[in-house]
C-alpha cells in the first residue's frame, strides 16, 4: 500500500508525450499553488483587515483609498475600548465562566464515562442511549425553561447562573468513554488486586492514560464556553456580569458605526485568546471537533 | 443466614476485600455487585443531574409553555391548547421566517459542502504549505460568532470596509450588504461560509486520506480523466462523510444565532429573521413565551426528523456493506 502511494501521484495519463506532459504538469502545479494562496488569502484576509485596522488612527480607518498597512500604530484604540466598556470585568467573567465551568463539566464527564466503562449497572446500554439523546435537544428549546429555572434560583446576573445550564456533558462523556474502552484491561485488574478503589483507579490509572483525550475535551469545552453567546445574552442584564462576546455586542451598539477603532480593538481582544489557544492546541482541537466523522 | 448477617460478616472481613472477593461465595459477590451498582449511580449522578435539569426537563416544560399564553410576568400562564401553533402556521410572517430559514440553511450547507470538498481536494495534493493552510482555514471555525460578526460588519462597510477596494478594480460599487434587505441574507451566508467551511474541508480531507488507492490507480490506467475519477469514484466513496457533514451542518445551521444577532438582528425588516432569531425575539424581546416556545418546539421536531433520517441511513449502510 504505502509503496504505491508515490506511484499513484507521479505519472500523468499513460501515453502523454514526455516534454509537453512535463510542461502541462508544471503549469497545473503552478495553478494549484495559486489556488492554495487564494484559499489562504480568503481566510486570513479578513483577520488581517481586523488586526491592522484596530491599530490604525481614526482618519486612516475612515479614508479611501485604503491604507493597507497602518502607518503609525495606534494602541489607544485598545485603551479607548477598555474605557468605553468594562472590558476588564468582561475578561474576568469570561475567564471564570469558561475555567470553572470546564472544570466542573470535565469532572462530571470523567466520573460518568468511568462508570459506563468500568462499573456494572442494570440497563446500562439504555441509560447510555438516554445520555446521547440529550445531544438532540437544541439549545433554543431550553432557553425559556432554563431562564425560568435560573431566575427562580435567584441566579440571574451571577456567575452561577452563567455556568450552571452548560454543565451537562454529552460530547465529552462520549469521547472519554470511547477512549476508556480502549485501555488495556490487565492494568485495571492489577490495580483491583492491589485493592485500589474505583476512585483511586480513576485518578491514578485511567486519568493519566487518557491524558490526550482529556486535554482534547477540556480545550474544546473551554473554547465553546468562551464563545457562548445566546445564554449569557439572556441571563445577564447588568454590564458588570457580561462576558466578552456580549460586551462586544453592547460596545458595538453603543459606539455605532462612527467609531470603528475601539470596536475593532475590542473584537481583537475577544479573538486573540482563542486564536492563541487554537494554534497551540490545534491538533487536539481539530481532532476533538471532527470526532464522529470517522465513524 | 439473613441478609443483615451477611452484611455484618462482610464488613468485618472488609480490609482485604479485593483479594477475598475473588474466591468468596456467591453471596459476597452479589453484595459486591450491589455496591458497584451504587457506585455507578454515584459516579453518573452529577452528569445526569445536570442533563435532567437543564436539557430534558426544559423540553417538557417548553412543550407545556407552547400551549399557554403568557407574557413572562403575569403569575398566570393561561392554557390555550394548540392556539399558538395554529396562529403561527396561519401567520404569513412566520411562514416567511420558515422560508428564510430554508434559504439560509440550504445556502450555507450546500455552499459549505461544495467549497469544503474543493478545498479538501486541493489540500490533498502533494504541495508545500498544505498543512499550514489546513490549520488556517480551520481557525475561523473556533472563533466567537460575536467577534466574527463584528469583524464582517466592518469588512462589509460600503465606504470603509475591505469590500470597497476589492470591488473597485472590477468597476463595481460595494452594496450596503447588511443594511439592504436584498443583500443581507446573502451577506450572512457569506460570513457563515467563511467561518465554517474549514471544518467541512478538514473532515472531507480525513475522508480522502483514508480512501483506497488501488481503485484510483486502476481508473488512471483505464485513462479516466481527473473529472471522471472525481465524479465516479471520489464522490461516491465519500458519501458516508458527506452524509455525516450534511446532517451535522443542517443541525448547527438551524441553530445559528450569534453572527445574526450581531450583524442584522433579524433585519433589515424581516429579511434575516430565521427561526432561531424568531424564538429569541418572541421570547426575550416581545415577551410572548407561548409563541417563542411553539417556535422552539417546531425547530426541535424538524431537527429530530433530520437526526432520525441519519439513524435510518446508517442502519441501511450497515445492512448493505
3-state secondary structure B212-260: CHHHHHHHHHCCCCHHHHHHHHHHHHCHHHHHHHHHHHHHHHHCCCHHH
pLDDT at A16: 45
Residues of A in contact with B289 (CB under 8 A): 144
Q: Give kind and range of the element (H or E) at residue B79.
A: strand B78-79
DSSP state for residue A63 in the 8-state scheme: -
Q: Give kind and range of the element (H or E) at residue A213.
A: helix A211-227
- To probe the interface with B, which of A59, A116, A138 has the most B CB atoms within 10 Å? A138
pLDDT at A5: 40
Q: Which residues contact A92 (CB under 8 A, 6 or more apart)?
A: none
Q: Are residues B49 and B187 in the same domain?
A: no
Residue B317: which pLDDT band, with cuts at 50, 70 and 90? low
- Residue A279: give the domain boundaries: 79-289
Residue B176: which pLDDT band, with cuts at 50, 70 and 90? confident
Per-residue pLDDT tens digits for B1-40: 334 433 433 333 344 444 444 556 888 888 988 999 999 9
Residues of A in contact with B146 (CB under 8 A): 227, 229, 245-246, 248-249, 270
Shortest CA gap B184–chain A (Å): 17
Q: Would residue B244 count as lying in a domain?
A: yes
Tell me how many domains chain B contains: 2
Shortest CA gap A138–chain B (Å): 6
Q: Would residue B74 count as lying in a domain?
A: no
Q: Are residues A228 and A259 in the same domain?
A: yes
Q: Do the beta carbons of residue A124 and residue B59 sit within 8 Å?
A: no
Q: Give kind and range of the element (H or E) at residue A22.
A: helix A18-54
CA distance A208 to A188: 13
CA distance B85 to B135: 45
Q: Are residues A151 and A260 in the same domain?
A: yes
CA distance A125 to A122: 8
CA distance A100 to A218: 11
Q: Are residues B50 and B106 in the same domain?
A: no
Which CATH number characterizes residue B199's domain?
1.10.3720.10
Q: Would residue B278 count as lying in a domain?
A: yes
Q: Would residue A11 count as lying in a domain?
A: no
Q: Do the beta carbons of residue B268 and residue B253 sit within 8 Å?
A: no
- Residue B197: give the domain boundaries: 83-320
Q: Are residues A238 and A182 in the same domain?
A: yes
Predicted ipTM of the assembly:
0.88
Q: Are residues A35 and A152 in the same domain?
A: no
Q: Are residues B264 and B219 in the same domain?
A: yes
Size of interface A-B (CB pairs under 8 A): 298
Q: Does B279 touch chain A (CB under 8 A)?
A: yes
Selected residue with higher pLDDT from A115 and B320: A115
SS3 at position A57: coil
CA distance B301 to B310: 14
Q: Would residue B50 count as lying in a domain?
A: yes
Residues of A in contact with B46 (CB under 8 A): 107-108, 111-112
Q: Are residues A249 and A128 in the same domain?
A: yes
- Only one residue has cell 508525450, namely A17
Q: Are residues B143 and B224 in the same domain?
A: yes
Nearest CA in chain A to B220: A13
Amino acid at each position: 500500500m504505502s509503496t504505491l502511494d508515490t506511484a499513484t501521484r507521479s505519472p500523468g495519463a499513460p501515453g502523454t508525450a514526455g516534454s509537453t506532459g512535463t510542461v502541462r504538469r508544471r503549469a497545473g502545479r503552478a495553478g494549484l499553488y495559486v489556488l492554495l494562496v487564494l484559499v489562504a488569502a480568503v481566510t486570513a484576509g479578513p483577520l488581517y483587515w481586523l488586526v491592522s485596522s484596530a491599530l490604525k488612527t481614526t482618519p486612516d480607518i475612515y479614508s479611501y483609498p485604503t491604507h493597507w498597512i497602518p502607518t503609525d500604530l495606534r494602541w489607544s484604540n485598545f485603551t479607548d475600548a477598555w474605557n468605553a466598556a468594562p472590558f476588564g470585568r468582561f475578561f474576568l467573567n469570561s475567564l471564570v465562566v469558561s475555567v470553572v465551568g470546564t472544570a466542573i463539566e470535565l469532572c462530571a464527564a470523567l466520573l460518568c464515562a468511568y462508570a459506563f466503562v468500568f462499573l456494572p449497572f442494570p440497563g446500562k446500554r439504555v441509560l447510555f442511549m438516554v445520555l446521547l439523546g440529550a445531544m438532540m435537544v437544541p439549545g433554543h428549546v431550553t432557553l425559556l425553561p432554563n431562564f425560568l429555572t435560573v431566575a427562580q434560583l435567584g441566579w440571574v446576573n451571577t456567575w452561577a447562573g452563567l455556568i450552571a445550564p452548560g454543565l451537562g456533558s454529552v460530547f465529552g462523556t462520549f469521547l472519554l468513554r470511547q477512549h476508556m474502552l480502549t485501555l488495556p484491561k490487565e492494568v485495571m485488574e492489577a490495580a483491583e488486586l492491589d485493592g485500589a478503589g474505583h476512585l483511586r483507579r480513576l485518578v491514578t490509572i485511567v486519568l493519566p492514560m487518557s491524558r490526550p483525550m482529556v486535554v482534547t475535551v477540556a480545550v474544546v469545552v473551554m473554547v465553546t464556553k468562551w464563545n457562548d453567546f445566546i445564554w449569557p445574552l439572556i441571563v445577564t442584564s447588568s454590564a458588570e456580569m457580561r462576558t466578552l462576546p456580549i460586551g462586544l455586542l453592547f460596545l458595538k451598539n453603543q459606539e455605532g458605526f462612527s467609531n470603528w477603532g475601539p470596536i475593532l480593538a475590542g473584537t481583537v481582544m475577544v479573538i486573540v485568546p482563542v486564536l492563541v489557544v487554537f494554534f497551540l492546541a490545534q491538533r487536539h482541537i481539530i481532532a476533538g471537533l471532527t470526532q464522529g466523522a470517522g465513524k | 443466614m439473613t441478609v443483615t448477617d451477611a452484611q455484618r460478616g462482610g464488613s468485618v472481613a472488609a480490609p482485604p476485600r479485593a483479594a477475598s472477593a475473588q474466591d468468596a461465595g456467591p453471596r459476597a459477590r452479589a453484595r459486591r455487585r450491589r455496591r458497584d451498582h451504587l457506585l455507578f449511580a454515584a459516579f453518573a449522578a452529577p452528569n445526569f443531574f445536570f442533563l435532567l435539569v437543564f436539557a430534558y426537563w426544559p423540553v417538557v416544560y417548553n412543550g407545556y409553555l407552547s400551549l399557554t399564553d403568557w407574557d413572562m410576568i403575569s403569575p398566570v400562564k393561561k392554557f390555550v391548547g394548540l392556539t399558538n401553533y395554529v396562529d403561527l402556521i396561519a401567520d404569513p410572517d412566520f411562514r416567511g421566517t420558515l422560508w428564510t430559514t430554508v434559504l439560509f440553511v440550504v445556502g450555507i450547507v450546500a455552499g459549505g459542502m461544495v467549497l469544503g470538498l474543493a478545498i479538501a481536494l486541493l489540500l490533498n495534493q502533494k504541495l508545500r504549505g498544505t498543512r499550514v493552510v489546513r490549520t488556517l482555514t480551520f481557525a475561523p471555525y473556533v472563533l466567537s460568532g460575536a467577534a466574527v460578526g463584528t469583524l464582517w460588519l466592518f469588512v462589509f462597510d460600503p465606504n470603509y470596509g475591505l469590500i470597497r477596494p476589492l470591488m473597485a478594480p472590477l468597476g463595481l460599487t460595494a452594496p450596503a450588504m447588511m443594511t439592504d434587505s436584498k443583500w443581507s441574507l446573502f451577506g450572512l451566508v457569506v460570513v457563515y461560509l467563511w467561518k465554517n467551511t474549514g471544518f467541512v474541508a478538514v473532515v472531507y480531507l480525513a475522508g480522502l486520506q483514508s480512501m483506497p488507492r488501488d481503485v484510483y490507480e486502476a481508473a488512471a490506467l483505464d485513462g479516466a480523466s481527473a473529472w471522471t475519477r472525481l465524479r465516479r469514484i471520489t464522490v461516491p466513496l465519500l458519501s458516508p462523510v458527506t452524509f455525516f457533514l450534511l446532517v451535522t451542518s443542517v443541525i448547527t445551521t438551524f441553530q445559528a444565532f450569534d453572527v445574526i444577532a450581531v450583524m442584522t438582528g433579524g433585519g433589515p425588516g424581516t429579511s434575516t429573521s430565521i427561526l432561531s432569531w424568531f424564538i429569541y425575539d418572541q421570547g426575550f424581546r416581545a415577551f410572548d413565551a407561548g409563541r417563542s416556545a411553539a417556535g422552539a418546539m417546531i425547530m426541535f421536531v424538524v431537527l429530530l426528523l433530520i437526526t432520525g433520517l441519519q439513524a435510518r441511513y446508517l442502519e441501511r449502510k450497515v445492512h448493505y456493506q
